[in-house]
């Protein structure tokens, strides 16, 4: 059994993560931290081998520092902070992913591949109106992967925030007389859980740290 704590446990993603961890036979939900529950992260660290962070852009980095200082591995799903700041954290392993949905990882991969062959591209990302950061971490990472693959500047990103949405992204590539659209939709937060559980199981065994991106844990 891996003992797992959740930071941001009262939030949309944190609550879904708690339910997924409780349903997994090899994982034990060892603690819930959230100011909304009156429960600080420091109070649960002793009980945890891994902490999952779904908090806010201004809290995630301090939480990650507190985890590794206590020798607790951390899996970060929070977006909107600079992941470069995770470099140099020592004491335990750090894994971060802007998107734990397998379909979104494939969308990013396909977009990068297409960017090398099409003249231009733009990204439209659409999320629920409670999302704090814009553009999304997924869109920023997609744009960076496309820039690397094409050798051109990163594509422009357009952000839409509306009630009724969960997490969606469309990459539109254009060339003479044709367009190609690659679209991914997360219609429920459960879409992120298989990738999250994989990261929880694998973070302790990472050969380097930090690792950013779910694609690094997927084979084939």
Catalytic residue list = 127, 131
The reply to whether 100 sits near ligand NAD by the rule CB under 6 A is yes
Establish if 34 lies at the interface with ligand NAD (CB under 6 A): yes
In this structure, the dihedral spanned by the alpha carbons of residues 77, 83, 85 and 90, taken in order and rounded to 10 degrees, is 60
| By CB under 6 A, residue 97 contacts ligand NAD | yes
Query: For residues 160, 163, 166 and 171, what is the CA-based torsion angle, rounded to 10 degrees?
Result: -20
Our finding on whether 8 is near ligand NAD (CB under 6 A) is yes
Candidate list 192, 193, 198, 211; residue touching ligand NAD; CB under 6 A: 192
Among 196, 201, 207, 7, CA closest to 102:
196
Q: Under the criterion CB under 6 A, does residue 56 sit at the interface with ligand NAD?
A: yes
CB of 99 to ligand NAD, least distance (A): 4
Record the tokens describing residue 145, joined without a space: 């992967």
Tell which one of 1, 19, 36, 156 touches ligand NAD (CB under 6 A).
36
- Residue 11 binds ligand NAD (CB under 6 A): yes
Contact assessment for residue 63 and residue 87, using Cβ atoms and an 8 Å cutoff: no
β-pair partners for 186 = 167
Binder among 32, 73, 131, 141 for ligand NAD (CB under 6 A): 131
- Choose between 44 and 172: whose C-beta lies nearer to ligand NAD: 44
Torsion sign across C-alpha atoms 110, 116, 121, 125 = positive
- Residue 127 to residue 68: CA distance in whole angstroms: 31
Binding footprint of ligand NAD on the chain (CB under 6 A): 7-8, 10-14, 33-36, 41, 54-56, 59, 63, 77-80, 97-100, 130-131, 133, 167, 192
């Amino acid at each position: 059994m891996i003992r797992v704590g959740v930071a941001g446990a009262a939030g949309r993603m944190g609550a879904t993560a708690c339910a997924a961890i409780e349903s997994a036979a090899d994982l034990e939900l060892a603690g819930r931290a959230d100011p909304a529950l009156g429960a600080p992260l420091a109070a649960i660290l002793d009980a945890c081998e891994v902490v999952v962070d779904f908090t806010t852009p201004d809290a995630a980095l301090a939480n990650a520092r507190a985890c590794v200082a206590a020798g607790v591995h951390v899996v970060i799903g929070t977006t909107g902070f600079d992941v470069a700041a995770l470099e140099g954290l020592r004491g335990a392993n750090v894994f971060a992913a802007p998107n734990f949905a397998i379909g979104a990882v494939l969308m990013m991969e396909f977009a990068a591949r297409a960017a090398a062959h099409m003249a231009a591209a733009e990204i439209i990302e659409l999320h629920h109106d409670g999302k704090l950061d814009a553009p999304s971490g997924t869109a920023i990472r997609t744009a960076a992967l496309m820039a690397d693959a094409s050798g051109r500047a990163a594509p422009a990103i357009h952000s839409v925030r509306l009630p009724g949405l969960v997490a969606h992204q469309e990459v539109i590539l254009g060339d003479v007389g044709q367009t190609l659209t690659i679209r991914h939709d997360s219609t429920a937060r459960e879409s992120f859980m298989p990738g999250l559980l994989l990261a929880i199981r694998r973070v302790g065994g990472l050969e380097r740290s930090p690792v950013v991106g779910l694609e690094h844990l997927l084979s084939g």
